[in-house]
Amino acid sequence: MLSKKTGRDYRLLSEAEWEYAARGRVPTATGPAPRYSFGDDETAMCRNGNVADRTARRDVFTSGRGTVFPCDDGYAHTAPAGSFLPNGFGLYDMLGNVWEWLEDCYRDSYAGAPSDGAAWLSGDCGHRVLRGGAWFDSPALLRAAYRSWSGTGDRTNGYGFRVARTLSVP
């Protein structure tokens, strides 16, 4: 529908594209990358993404829950897109809110992955990669490097997607 309306082609991001975008910065050789695009401070997450936090613990996980972020983002479930600060590339909602479906077929490791950032379209294509974590996820799952997967027919209020448009280089 979007392609028909705009006359442009859209697709899901590859896993490599998604991770680069989520980090929100150009990699450097000056030490390890921080866990989040804004640094390593978990109390800053609630300004940067919708996650399992004190709000969710109070309003959703009332019977107790494991670790939550030590802050309040004001949303007990999903939040409207763009409710939090953008990352260094100006992208919103890369971590938290909903897991994002990616084009890649799931594999246990990166061994043999495409070296050009393209999606991996062979292997277990009945399961696709998910990245970014959701509103109900704890700090351990909300990192740019964390990856998950799900069956292509699975649906939940914790899954979503982001589209990309491939630009032609003149």
What is the predicted pLDDT for the residue at 170? 73
What residue spans define the domains of the chain? 2-26+40-164
State the amino acid at position 107 in one-letter form.
R
Judged against a pLDDT cut of 70, whether residue 65 lies above it is answered with no
Give CATH for domain 2-26+40-164: 3.90.1580.10
Average pLDDT on 25-30 reads: 71
What is the predicted pLDDT for the residue at 83? 96
What is the predicted pLDDT for the residue at 163? 94
pLDDT, tens digit (0-9, with 9 covering 90-100), for 158-170:
999 999 988 777 7
- Residues above pLDDT 90, as percent of the chain: 59
What is the predicted pLDDT for the residue at 29? 67
Give pTM, 2 decimals: 0.88
**CA-CA distances (angstroms) from residue 157 to 23, 89, 97?**
24, 26, 10
CA distance 88 to 26: 9
| Least reliable range by pLDDT among 54-63, 130-139, 150-159 | 54-63
Judged against a pLDDT cut of 70, whether residue 98 lies above it is answered with yes
Judged against a pLDDT cut of 70, whether residue 49 lies above it is answered with yes
**CA-CA distances (angstroms) from residue 60 to 53, 64, 132?**
10, 9, 20
DSSP 3-state assignment of 48? helix
